[in-house]
Amino acid sequence: MTPERYQRIRNMLAQRQTDLTVCLENVHKPHNVSAVVRTCDAIGIHKIHAIWEERYGIRRGTAMGSERWVGVDTHRNVGNAIRALKSNDMQVLVTHLSDKAVDFREVDYTRPTAILFGQEKYGATDDAIALCDQEIVIPMVGMVQSLNVSVAAALVLYEAQRQRQNAGMYNKQQLSEAECQRILFEGGYPVLAKVCKARDLPYPPIDGQGNIAADEGWWEKIQAHTNAVASLNA
Ligand code: SAM
């Protein structure tokens, strides 16, 4: 990878907010999932959570293909998802149009936070609402009842980003160096990363210029794989 690409990935990794995430509860339209993930990347979310239950006829992993800079953890049901988030000491907020909900701008997003967004037609389930810590709402004073889910996500996430930036939370790297190395290799050398996965080889270290800093043995194993593939195709 070029030094410029290396630096760009490094800058992105240095600002990832590991204690801020979203949870998509049966949000299933590919363009909505894609738009939410894109906003997550833009504001520095490292990993999102998703529940895609079969009763909604949603295929697992829907629309996640190209968003390789944001990881996704899938859960069988909303209970499992919220328990996992709370076990990481996160406050879990649910976006919901109700009288109990507080204005989304009144919440402290500098705390470890997960924000749950509901299905396009039905919104968040009763189970999700019961298990979450706080309902939040984006005020609506027009004629339409609700916003598109990806628009709602963008508004809430940029409020979280604003608060965290003011608190200096983008100035301190949260990701471990081991996780940065993994992402640098997979992002900078995707073909070699696939070979490593297929051959169960360890990822090599990436140096301060973005070059692979592997020993001879590692390169020999990669070469052996390349030779084997070439002879199969001959
Ligand atoms: N009829 C559904 C309801 O009452 O929840 C509308 C669902 S809305 C189209 C889909 C999702 O977008 C909601 O579950 C919520 O996550 C988010 N959303 C849309 N408008 C919102 C608003 N004004 N406040 C909070 N969340 C909103």
pLDDT at 119: 94
Rounded Cα distance, 22 and 156, in Å: 10
Given pLDDT bands bounded at 50, 70 and 90, which one contains residue 229? confident
Q: Is the CB of 175 under 6 A from ligand 1?
A: no
CA of 151 to the centre of ligand 1 (A): 10
More confident residue, 64 or 199: 199
Rounded Cα distance, 101 and 80, in Å: 23
pLDDT at 68: 78
CA of 171 to the centre of ligand 1 (A): 32
Residues 54-104 have pLDDT tens digits of 665 545 554 454 467 999 999 999 999 999 999 999 999 999 999 999 999
Of 97, 127, 157, the residue with max ligand 1 atoms within 8 A of its CB, to mutate for a pocket test, comes to: 97
Of 23, 143, 145, 146, the residue with max ligand 1 atoms within 8 A of its CB, to mutate for a pocket test, comes to: 146
Rounded Cα distance, 96 and 224, in Å: 56
pLDDT at 65: 45
Domains recognised in the chain with CATH numbers = 17-171 (3.40.1280.10), 177-233 (no CATH)
More confident residue, 184 or 232: 184
- Do residues 33 and 64 make contact, with C-beta atoms less than 8 angstroms apart? yes
Helix (H) or strand (E) holding 22: strand 20-25
Quick one: average pLDDT of 36-52? 94
pLDDT at 226: 82
pLDDT at 230: 75
pLDDT at 140 over 60: yes
Pairing of strands 91-95, 47-51: unpaired
